């Protein structure tokens, strides 16, 4: 009976927690290339939080349907993911000045179902500045813990970085 409960807990955790390896420098200095991050699926989004989001194919968007909220880890691992910081959510003012791709949109507020996501390293990030809005359904989870892979001793830390640094 205890083994059954452990199996249920393990199955629930593997669908809720996602480990991702950072590939690139778009989130430096907060996250470096090869850092490991742990994201929690289903966490409430807030401006300033770092999220794991499905990477679009350039500016053309996605070739596959969005994953279901509780998709199996095997399906999650078949997609390409990136991490970005949330700078605006539905109902927030459109950050036109900071996001060239949104400079000419008609609406004054971020539409329902969309988010504005930016990398901390402005000179090396593919994000809303080039792509525009990201659909909320493409966000896998919120980064809660990171493990440094180099440039310091390994260990976990809460993700940090001022919102203004995006």
66 CA to centre of own chain: 14
Domains of the chain: 2-165 (2.10.109.10)
What's residue 81's pLDDT? Answer: 87
Structure tokens at 2: 């205890």
**Tokens (6 digits) for 17:** 């927690």
C-alpha distance from residue 132 to each of 34, 51, 99 (Å): 26, 16, 8
Instruction: State the residue for tokens 């001022």.
Output: 162
pLDDT tens for the 166 residues of the chain, in order: 544 333 333 334 456 898 889 989 999 999 999 999 999 998 899 999 999 998 887 666 766 777 666 666 666 666 778 899 999 999 999 999 999 999 999 999 999 999 999 999 999 999 999 999 999 999 999 999 888 876 543 344 444 333 222 2
Task: Tell me what pLDDT residue 88 has.
Answer: 98
Q: Quick one: which of 146, 110, 153 has its CA closest to 128?
A: 110
> Judging by beta carbons within 10 Å of its beta carbon (0-12, 13-18, 19+), is residue 125 exposed, middle or buried?
buried
CA atoms within 13 A on the CB side of 119: 23
Does the pTM surpass 0.85? The reply is no
Query: Which residues on adjacent β-strands are paired with residue 147?
Result: 36, 156
């Amino acid at each position: 009976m205890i083994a059954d409960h452990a199996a249920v807990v393990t199955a629930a955790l593997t669908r809720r927690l996602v480990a991702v390896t950072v590939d690139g420098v778009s989130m430096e200095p907060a996250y470096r290339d090869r850092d490991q991050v742990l994201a929690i699926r289903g966490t409430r989004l807030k401006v300033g939080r770092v999220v794991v989001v499905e990477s679009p194919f350039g500016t053309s968007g996605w070739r596959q349907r969005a994953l279901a909220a509780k998709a199996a880890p095997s399906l999650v691992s078949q997609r390409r993911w990136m991490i970005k910081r949330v700078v605006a959510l539905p109902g927030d003012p459109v950050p036109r000045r900071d996001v060239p791709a949104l400079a000419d949109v008609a609406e004054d507020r971020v539409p329902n179902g969309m988010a504005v996501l930016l990398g901390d390293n402005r000179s090396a990030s593919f994000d809303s500045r080039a792509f525009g809005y990201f659909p909320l359904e493409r966000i896998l989870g919120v980064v809660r813990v990171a493990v440094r892979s180099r440039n310091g001793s390994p260990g976990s830390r809460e993700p940090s970085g001022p919102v203004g640094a995006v």
